[in-house]
Amino acid sequence: PRVPVCVPQVGSYRDISHDSLALFRLLEPQIEILVLGTGDRVERLHPALLKQMRECGIAVEVQDTPNACATFNFLTSEKRMVAAGLIPP
């Protein structure tokens, strides 16, 4: 049975949390890379958050959103299991 997930809204990189990334951990088939675009510039995310994702088998690539879009497109062209979370610049 599927469990409903309530994902908090993300308006800026400060809103990215373990809970806001829950959907990416539940995807089937499982993704191997999550590309996060943090807006106009690259922002640092809390190391514990990145560690939690790695422990779930998901690498996280944090970039400014225009570069995150390019990275996502490149990875999908290589048939990688990738997802993106993008905050508009």
Q: In this structure, what token pair is assigned to residue 49?
A: 């958050």
| Predicted confidence (pLDDT) per residue in 3-62, tens digit | 565 667 888 999 999 999 999 999 999 999 999 999 999 999 999 999 999 999 999 999
Asked if residue 66 lies in contact with residue 40, where contact means CB atoms within 8 angstroms, the answer is: no
**pTM, two decimal places:** 0.90
Helix (H, G, I), strand (E, B) or coil at 23: helix
> How many residues are recorded in the chain?
89
Contact 86, 68 (CB under 8 A): yes
Find the DSSP H helices in the chain: 22-26, 47-55, 65-77
Return the domain boundaries, the chain. 5-86
What six digits make up the tokens of 32? 């191997």
The CATH superfamily assigned to 5-86 is MTH938-like (3.40.1230.10)
- 3-class DSSP assignment, residue 29: coil
